[in-house]
Amino acid sequence: MSSVKIYDTTLRDGSQAEGISFTVEDKIRIAHKLDELGVHYVEGGWPGSNPRDVDFFEKAQRAHFSQTRITAFGSTRYPDKKVKDDIVLQALLKTETQVVTLFGKTWDLHVKDALSTSLDENLRMIFESIAYLKKRRDEILFDAEHFFDGYKNNPEYAIKAVKEAESAGADWIVLCDTNGGTLPHEVRSIFGEVKNLISVKMGIHAHNDSEVAVANSLNAIEAGAEQVQGTINGYGERCGNANLVSIIPNLKIKMGINCVTDEQLQSLKDVSAFVDELANKAHWNQQPFVGKSAFAHKGGVHVSAVRKNSQTYEHIEPEKVGNHQRILVSELSGKSNILHKAKEYGLDVDDKDPKVQKILESLKESENLGFQYEGAEASFELMMRDALGQKEIFFDFIGFRVIVEKRREDEEPISEATVKLRVNGIQEVSAAEGTGPVNALDKAIKKALVKFYPELEEVNLYDYKVRILEEKKGTRAKTRVLIESGDHHSKWGTVGVSENIIEASWQALIDSIDYKLNHQRDGGNVQ
């Protein structure tokens, strides 16, 4: 097989994971990251199920994606309903996406017990829904829900269901192991049998309840699947979905199947960490391919061997997926990553420049303090500019004060911030009230600076995330704050870390302002 299409459902299936809730802005940023990775389809959500998904599709229609096709997801029509009156199908059409994924029942148990309808009516629901949408959209995918359980229980009916989808004009039939209970040898056998019975292109959608979702996906591809569905970092309901961060390099490097370019594959670690950060999840150090420990070697025989020949203890070259080898006793690595980032930011750096080592030292020192720069690219660029002597100072910090006051039990608290800054030798003092301490601080900073830098009027705060880094310390724990800001042209992320949440917020807010002003100095818009 020459190529396989990658279908990502992080924004829909992945967001159903316990403890994950993406904002609309998060989802747009992730969609762009997936586009850069070379993902062919990004499932944006289920329109009509919640206002957030409706908002996402409206914003996605106005965004530009170079490769990714944004996909809407929904169910076949309700039993005994007409397609033109079905609220789910009508909501799908309102998104105006040219790709739609419909799921339908293929397990007779679900038809009877979950839908409470007849087997024949379910077949009509599949055919009529797909035929209706196919007349109005470019590409229709049919997710055959619970297919493997259905096939094992009643193979004749499961095949009838997918044949209805084929007859109705579906462009893809995707076999789903929805409960995640099927084993790899079963997936390969069943997939191959179905492949011989239908002529439509086929895909695989596996869940990880038996810890074999990646293996199931790869076996389906061996059996003829031309599309693989999954999520970044394996996020998903219950035990998660098939992990695309493992599937993509296995396809590309191990199986020789084109799914992304070599250059796109090098962004894999960055995409994994970026999604973790926006999901407000700690990175899994032992994650295959992209984890911090995936190519880490600690002492003794391993280190001796790997220094002579990395193949002795490394199954691939870590740089292929954007990772790097780490020798834990000396922390050797990172220079190439720094040079790559400098080039990305348009900074002129020579690989022999001692300042590169200074950046590395600053990075390690910051990470030891709890800073993480995935999702906070603007703060990382400012750190690089500072080490290279290319960061301009637009103002000096003198001090700030934040007061939160609650006067009566039935009244909202009042937040007030005062900041003192020096600009061109002139001291500025400004105060502002806000809906909370961070909002008040943001307003006070801009109030102090906008008379000197009017372009700050167009900077808005879009998102604000807090993560506790040392859970055992309770309210004394170190806190990481991630802020997303933007203007009329683009958005950028900044980070702050402190035991004091207001101080961490201050750091992130100041970086946001600095980033805007440094790019304005360069004579262009923020990238």
Q: What is the tens place of the pLDDT at every residue in 474-506?
A: 777 889 999 999 888 888 999 999 999 999 999
The domain locations on the chain are: 5-278, 295-333, 334-394+459-527, 399-452
Second-level CATH architecture of 399-452: 2-Layer Sandwich (3.30)
Q: What is the tens place of the pLDDT at every residue in 75-106?
A: 999 999 999 999 999 999 999 899 999 999 99
Query: What pLDDT band is residue 341 in, cutting at 50, 70 and 90?
Result: low
Give the three-class secondary structure for 91: helix
Distance between CA atoms of 349 and 338, rounded to whole angstroms?
A: 9
Q: Judge whether residue 334 has pLDDT over 60.
A: no
Q: Are 7 and 43 in contact (CB under 8 A)?
A: yes
Residue matched to tokens 């011989």 = 196
In this structure, what are the phi and psi dihedrals at residue 224, rounded to the nearest 5 degrees?
120, 5
Distance between CA atoms of 401 and 310, rounded to whole angstroms?
A: 53
Residue 152 zone, left/alpha/beta (φ > 0; ψ -120 to 50; rest): alpha
CATH class entry, domain 295-333: few secondary structures
Distance between CA atoms of 214 and 228, rounded to whole angstroms?
A: 10
Query: What pLDDT band is residue 147 in, cutting at 50, 70 and 90?
Result: very high
Determine whether domain 5-278 maps to CATH 2.60.40.1120. Answer: no
What pLDDT is recorded for position 310?
78
- pTM for this predicted structure: 0.74
Beta strand residue intervals within 313-435, DSSP E: 326-327, 396-405, 414-423, 426-434
Q: Judge whether residue 51 has pLDDT over 90.
A: no
| E strand or H helix at 342 | helix 335-344
Q: What is the tens place of the pLDDT at every residue in 430-446?
A: 999 998 999 999 999 99
**Matching fold, domains 295-333 and 334-394+459-527:** no
Structure tokens at 301: 């025989």
What pLDDT is recorded for position 303?
58
Distance between CA atoms of 69 and 28, rounded to whole angstroms?
A: 13
Query: What pLDDT band is residue 312 in, cutting at 50, 70 and 90?
Result: confident
Domain 334-394+459-527 falls in which CATH fold? Double Stranded RNA Binding Domain (3.30.160)
Structure tokens at 26: 């998060």
Query: What pLDDT band is residue 304 in, cutting at 50, 70 and 90?
Result: low
What pLDDT is recorded for position 330?
35
Q: What is the dihedral of CA 339, 343, 345, 347, to 10 degrees?
A: 80
Taking CA atoms, 378 is separated from 18, 33, 69, 349, 370, in Å, by 29, 16, 28, 18, 17
Q: What is the tens place of the pLDDT at every residue in 417-430?
A: 999 999 999 999 99
